[in-house]
Amino acid sequence: MRPDSHEIFGRRRSRNIGLGLVLGAFVLLVFAVTMVKLSEGQSMQGFDHTLRPSLLPPAEE
Amino acid sequence: MSDTDWTLAARAHEPAFGDYIELLKPRVMRLVVFTAFVGMVCAPVAVHPVIGLASILCIAVGAGAAGALNMWQDWDIDAVMRRTAARPIPSGRVERGEALAIGLTLAAFAVVMLALFANPFAAGLLAFTIFFYAVVYSIWLKRATPQNIVIGGAAGAFPPMIGWAVATGGIAPESVLMFLLIFVWTPPHFWALALFRNDDYRRAGVPMLPVTAGDRVTRNHILAYSLVLAPIAIAPAFTAIGGPVYLAGAVVLDALLLVGAARLWRRDPDSASRDRFLAEKRFFGLSIVYLFLLFALLLAEAALGAAGLTPAGWPVLV
């Protein structure tokens, strides 16, 4: 019996593969959502401790 | 410690990926995903499919997190009940602390991601739902009162409201009706289960209604809640999410539910034990089909509406 063929290694491998697939799917999901939000024209900027005129509401006439 | 001891110790704490998935209660998650999806699709605001998929995944993960926290809290009850003894914690495949860590992490993760993917209101509702199930129901009510399932049922009733909030960012009479539908459906559904799992609950010390008030009172309650549930199931037909197809289906399903509830009401422990709780088990199964089909009918109405097949003169009261 090979040392790495024990049942424990099988379970550990299933955990590693499962977690890898979940993380990969999450990266794809965030990428897809980002593309959708950008293509819909949503603002991707946020407050970062300085005044950013592009985030101010448009001035009334 | 010998090599054999190390091997045995490692085997006890070496969960497979499927054990962690089981911790998230995938069967409960299916109903949550379905009802949240229906809530989102029925809403008057269209959601981009990618945003919708991402939001439903967040709701599913949030529900799973609540399930893990419930298993962390209820490990002692689960261990003595036949229905739950094979769950990951009582069977020794996952440690209790792991379930807590996974539950808390996934809960925070799901709420934050839903706020980013959809909107803060939907995320707030999801956070409240997880809190309600894990703390109000699991920690506080379940072991304290026979009304546990009545109040705790709210946790399972929120997903369609969250789905609706993903689309609209708010609450509407239609989403409240979907909430009420699951909220009033939950007690008779679980009391039917408790009737034929009474020994389990008694052994575990969970104060379900058959344990504290007896068989007769439970059957009365099942009938009374079914009578309240029937008109609530009809009500969505006369809102913007309903229509004639939903109404026809809801009337048939209500009739089946009420006949089943009346049959349970006429029985007693002797007649139930003679046929091994056959009618109670059938009512439990019927209640699952009942809720699933009601939401499927709402989905059908949404599809008909999208195809422009809604009748023009249909009365919409709300």
Residue A41 gets the label, from left (phi > 0), alpha (psi -120 to 50) or beta, of left
Q: What is the pLDDT of residue B142?
A: 93
Range of the structural domain that residue B149 is part of: 20-171
Which DSSP state fits B135? I
Tens-digit pLDDT profile for residues B20-69: 999 999 999 999 999 999 999 999 999 999 999 999 999 999 999 999 99
Q: Are residues B143 and B105 in the same domain?
A: yes
Q: How far is B138 from chain A (nearest CA, A)?
A: 28
Question: Given 3-state DSSP classes, what are the helix, strand and coil percentages for chain B, each rounded to the nearest 5?
Answer: 75, 0, 25
On whether any CB of chain B is under 8 Å from the CB of A34, the answer is no
Model confidence at A1: pLDDT above 80: no
pLDDT digits (tens, 9 = 90+) for B147-158: 999 998 999 999
**Domain assignment present for B8:** no
CB contact under 8 A, B14 and A17: no
Q: Does the residue B302 lie in any domain?
A: yes
Cβ contact B158:B128 at 8 Å: yes
How many separate domains does chain B show? 2
Q: B48 contacts in A (CB within 8 Å)? A: 36, 40
Integer CA distances (angstroms), B281 to B165, B179, B284, in order: 35, 25, 5
B17·A15 Cβ contact <8 A:
yes
| Residue B10 pLDDT exceeds 70 | no
In chain A, how many domains are there?
A: 1
Of B11, B16, B50, the CB nearest to A14: B16
Q: Which of B18, B192, B22, B224 shows the shortest CA–CA distance to A14? A: B18
Are both B101 and B126 inside the same structural domain?
yes
Q: What is the pLDDT of residue B11?
A: 53
In a domain, B5, yes or no: no
In a domain, A2, yes or no: no
Answer whether residue A23 is part of any domain: yes
Other beta carbons within 10 angstroms of residue B235's beta carbon come to: 17
Question: Does B183 lie in the same domain as B87?
Answer: no
Kindly state whether residues B34 and B138 are assigned to the same domain.
yes
Same domain, B162 and B250: no
Identify whether A25 is part of a domain.
yes
Q: Please list the alpha-helical segments (H only) found in A1-61.
A: 7-39
The CATH number of whichever domain residue B74 belongs to comes to 1.10.357.140
Count the neighbouring beta carbons within 10 Å of the beta carbon of residue B182: 24
Do B59 and B162 lie in a common domain? yes
Spell out a b/e string for B97-117, using b for 16 or more CB atoms within 10 Å of the CB, else e.
Answer: ebbeebbbebbeebbebbbeb
Instruction: Say yes or no: B142 and B227 in one domain.
Output: no
In a domain, A45, yes or no: no
pLDDT surpasses 70 at B256: yes
B103 half-sphere exposure, CB direction, 13 A CA radius: 24
Whether residues A32 and B16 touch (CB distance < 8 A) is answered with no
Helix/strand/coil (H, E, C) string of B218-247? HHHHHHHHHHHHHHHHHHHHHCCCCCHHHH
At B4, the pLDDT band (50, 70, 90 cuts) reads: low
CA separation (Å) from B206 to B145, B190, B211? 9, 13, 8
